Amino acid sequence: MADKVLMKGNEAIAEAAIKAGCRHYFGYPITPQTEIAAYMAKRMPKIGGTFLQAESEIAAINMVYGVAGAGFRVMTSSSSPGVSLKQEGISYIAGADLPALIVNVQRGGPGLGGIQPSQSDYFQATKGGGHGDYHLIVLAPASVQEMADLTIKAFDLSDKYRVPAMLLADGTMGQMMEPVALPDVDVAEIEKPWAVRGTKNARKHNIVNSLYLKPDELEKTNFERYERYRQIEENEVMYESFMMEDAEYCVVAFGIAARISKNAVLAARNQGIKVGLIRPITLWPFPTEVIAKAADQVKGFVSVELSMGQMIEDVRLASSCKKPVLLCNRTGGMIPTPEEVLAKISELADNT
Amino acid sequence: MLSQILIAGFGGQGVLFAGKFIAYKGLYENKEVSWLPSYGPEMRGGTANCSVILSDAPVGSPIVSNPDILLVMNLPSLDKYENATVKGAKIIVDSTLIERKVVRDDVDAFYIPATRMANDAGIPTLANMIMVGKMIRETNAISFDDMENVLKKVVSAKHADLLEANLKALQTGYQYEG
C-alpha cells in the first residue's frame, strides 16, 4: 500500500487538479461535491494558488472565464442545479475557444431535485448545455482512481484543443473512498500565444471574445471549431471493453452504472448468458464506432443509466438501430441494483 | 474472498469512521476495497450507514444491499437491515442500545453491550471501535494485527492522543467472548 491512500472521489479530483498545475479554483458549495471546494480552500493558499468562494455559480464560472483567458489552468465544480446556472458562462468560454475544467458531480433533478446520485445531466453535458454550436469534451470516471486520472487528462485535452472539458461524475463517485495512487504529473508547458497577459508593448494585443456581429465571421469561427471537434472525435475516444470478445449481448453503461453492470455481467455469465460491457469513458466524443461494430456482433444492447434514458439515444444512433436497445434505469437518486440489470439482460436474451 | 459489510447506527456514533478503519485495514492487507457513506441529512443525527467492500478481485458495485456482515448500533438499523442480510450472515448487535434479539434463524447473531463497555472503559465515544473489534473476532474479513499502524492512517494527527483509546476499544471488543 506504499503509495496508495484512501480518498473520497471529490478529494481525488481536487488533489489531481493541483498536481496538473491548476492554481485557480472558483466555486460555490453544493452537495454532493462540496469536498472539492473544502479541499481547495485548505490547499490553494499553501501553494500560492487562488481559492475563491464566489457569491454564486454564475460569478464563479465567469471568474473561470477570466483566468482561462489569461491562459492559466483553472476549474470550477458544482452539482446539477449549480451546473445549470453556469451554462451561460460555459457557452461564452466555448465561444471564446478557451480551455477550462468544469466538474459536475451529478444529483437527481430536474429543478433542485435531490442530493442523491444521478446521471440525468447526460444530455446537458454531451449535447452542448448552453446556447449555440458547441461541445464540451466530457469524461466519465468510474472509480476514485479515474476521478484523479481523468481530471489530469481533462486539463491536457482542454489545453490541446482549446475546448472546455467537463468531468461528469455523480454523488456516489464523489462520496465513495477507494485506494488511489496520485501520479506525479509532468505538466506540459503548452504555448498559449492567444492568452491575454499583457503585451509589454512588444506585440499587438490579443482579444478574447465570443461576440461576432458579422455572420460570416461567426460562421467561420464555428467551422474552425468544428474542425477541431472532428480531430477530437478522431483521436480522443476512450472506452473500456469488458468480456466483449465472444459476447452475444452488450451492456452499455458509464460511471457508477458501469460498476453495477459489471456485477450483473459476471452473474449473467455464471448463468451461461454471453454478455459483455462497453463503458464509454469519453461521453463526448461518444465511442460511436465501437458501438457500431458491436451492433454487427451482438443480438441486442441494454443501456443502464441513472436517468429516464438519455445515453440510450446515442447507443441507438451509433448502432443505426440495427439491434434492439433496452433501457434499465432508475432515477431521482435511486440506483439500479445488479439484480435489476441482470433481469434486463435475461429479458433481452429471452427475446432475441 | 469477498466481504460485503454494512455498518449502521445514529449519526455521531462513528459509523463512518469505523467503516473507514475497516477499509484501511483491508488496503493494508492488500485487498481491493471500497467505502461508501450515506451522505444525506441523516449524517446530522438521524440514521447513518456505510458500505465497505473487501475483495480479492476489483470491486464492482460499491453499494452493499445484501451484507454478509452487518454491524448495527441502533434499533431502526436492525429493523431496516436484518432481512437484507444474506443467509449465513454475521450480525453484530450493540445490545446496550438494541434490546431485541435478531429474529432470523439462518444468520449468526453476536450481542455485545458496546456502548456500556465504552462508558465503563472511560472511552464513551468509541463504542464503534469496540464493535469493530468484535467483528474481527467473529469473522474472517480482516485480521487482528498491525492495528496501530492502520489507526495512524485514520486518526488525524490533530487527534493523535486518541490512538491509544482506539486501540483499547478494538482490544476490548476483540476480547469480548459473550
Report yes or no: B40 and A115 within 8 Å, Cβ to Cβ: yes
Residue B12, SS3 per DSSP = coil
Using a CB–CB cutoff of 8 Å, tell me whether B122 touches chain A.
Answer: no
- Tell me the per-residue pLDDT of A32-41, one tens digit each, with 9 for 90 and over: 999 999 999 9
Partner-chain contact B40 A115, CB within 8 Å: yes
Partner-chain contact B153 A6, CB within 8 Å: yes
* Residue owning grid cell 431535485: A113
- Tell me the per-residue pLDDT of A262-297, one tens digit each, with 9 for 90 and over: 999 999 999 999 999 999 999 999 999 999 999 999
Using a CB–CB cutoff of 8 Å, tell me whether B20 touches chain A.
Answer: yes
Using a CB–CB cutoff of 8 Å, tell me whether A32 touches chain B.
Answer: yes
pLDDT of residue A186: 83
Report yes or no: A120 and A331 within 8 Å, Cβ to Cβ: yes
User: What is the domain partition of chain B in residue ranges?
Assistant: 2-175
* List of chain B residues whose C-beta atoms are within 8 Å of the C-beta of residue A259: 59-62
Residue A197, SS3 per DSSP = coil
- Give the fold, CATH level 3, of A5-199+222-235: Rossmann fold (3.40.50)
Cα distance between the two ends of chain A: 46
**Exposure on the CB side of residue A60, measured as CA atoms within 13 A:** 29
pLDDT of residue A320: 97
pLDDT of residue B10: 92
Candidate from B35, B37, B61 with C-beta closest to A263 = B61
B-facing residues of A in 251-280 (CB < 8 A) are: 256, 259-260, 262-263, 266
- Give the fold, CATH level 3, of B2-175: Pyruvate-ferredoxin Oxidoreductase; domain 3 (3.40.920)
Each residue's pLDDT expressed in tens, for chain B with a length of 178 residues: 899 999 999 988 999 999 999 999 999 999 999 999 988 766 566 789 999 999 999 999 999 999 999 999 999 999 999 999 999 999 999 999 999 999 999 999 999 999 999 999 999 999 999 999 999 999 999 999 999 999 999 998 888 889 999 999 999 999 999 7
Sign of CA dihedral B37, B41, B44, B49: negative
**Exposure on the CB side of residue A166, measured as CA atoms within 13 A:** 33
- Tell me the per-residue pLDDT of A145-199, one tens digit each, with 9 for 90 and over: 999 999 999 999 999 999 999 999 999 999 999 999 998 888 877 899 999 999 9
Report yes or no: A301 and A327 within 8 Å, Cβ to Cβ: no
* List of chain B residues whose C-beta atoms are within 8 Å of the C-beta of residue A1: 27-28, 30
Candidate from A4, A176, A337 with C-beta closest to B62 = A176
**Among candidate residues A294, A276, A303, A336, the one with its CA nearest the CA of residue A122:** A303
d(CA A309, CA B54): 32
Partner-chain contact B24 A171, CB within 8 Å: no
Partner-chain contact A263 B39, CB within 8 Å: no
pLDDT over 60 at A1, yes or no: no
pLDDT of residue A185: 87
- Give the fold, CATH level 3, of A239-351: Rossmann fold (3.40.50)
Quote the DSSP letter at residue A281.
S
pLDDT of residue A184: 86
DSSP B105-157: SSSEEEEE-HHHHHHHTT-TT-HHHHHHHHHHHH-SSS-SSSHHHHHHHHS-G
Using a CB–CB cutoff of 8 Å, tell me whether A340 touches chain B.
Answer: no
Q: What are phi and psi for residue A172, nearest 5 degrees? A: -65, -50
* Radius of gyration of chain A measured on its C-alpha atoms: 20
Report yes or no: A247 and A298 within 8 Å, Cβ to Cβ: yes
d(CA A128, CA A113): 21
* Residue owning grid cell 432515477: A331
Using a CB–CB cutoff of 8 Å, tell me whether A175 touches chain B.
Answer: yes
d(CA A30, CA A27): 9
Partner-chain contact B34 A177, CB within 8 Å: yes
Partner-chain contact B61 A259, CB within 8 Å: yes
Q: In this structure, are strands A5-8 and A177-180 parallel, antiparallel, or unpaired?
A: antiparallel
**Among candidate residues A28, A26, A69, A23, the one with its CA nearest the CA of residue A46:** A23
Helix axes A311-318, A288-297, angle to 10 degrees: 60
* List of chain A residues whose C-beta atoms are within 8 Å of the C-beta of residue B20: 6, 177
User: What is the domain partition of chain A in residue ranges?
Assistant: 5-199+222-235, 239-351
Query: Which strand ranges, in their side-by-side order, compose the sheet holding A249-252?
Result: A239-242, A275-280, A249-252, A300-305, A325-329
d(CA A177, CA B138): 25
- Tell me the per-residue pLDDT of A323-337, one tens digit each, with 9 for 90 and over: 999 999 999 999 999
Q: What is the mean pLDDT of chain A?
A: 96
Cis peptide bond N-terminal to A285, omega within 30: yes
Nearest CA in chain B to A32: B39
**Interface mutation vs chain B, best among A3, A105, A178, most B CBs within 10 Å:** A178
pLDDT of residue A2: 41
Nearest CA in chain A to B32: A179
Q: Which residues pair with B2 in a beta bridge?
A: B55
Beta strands in A171-220 (DSSP E): 177-180
Partner-chain contact B34 A176, CB within 8 Å: yes
pLDDT of residue B42: 61
Fold match between domain A5-199+222-235 and domain A239-351: yes
Report yes or no: A29 and A79 within 8 Å, Cβ to Cβ: no
Report yes or no: B16 and B36 within 8 Å, Cβ to Cβ: no
Longest Cα–Cα distance in chain B: 45
Cα distance between the two ends of chain B: 27
pLDDT of residue B78: 96
Partner-chain contact A178 B34, CB within 8 Å: yes
Q: Which three cell numbers mark A107?
A: 444529483
**Among candidate residues B61, B54, B60, B58, the one with its CA nearest the CA of residue B29:** B54
Using a CB–CB cutoff of 8 Å, tell me whether B153 touches chain A.
Answer: yes
Nearest CA in chain B to A115: B40
* Radius of gyration of chain B measured on its C-alpha atoms: 15
**Among candidate residues B139, B145, B93, the one with its CA nearest the CA of residue B116:** B93
- Tell me the per-residue pLDDT of A86-141, one tens digit each, with 9 for 90 and over: 999 999 999 999 999 999 999 999 999 999 999 999 999 999 999 999 999 999 99
Query: Amino acid identity of B136?
Result: I
d(CA A107, CA A300): 30
Partner-chain contact B35 A176, CB within 8 Å: yes
d(CA A16, CA A73): 12
Shortest Cα–Cα distance, A276 to chain B (Å): 14
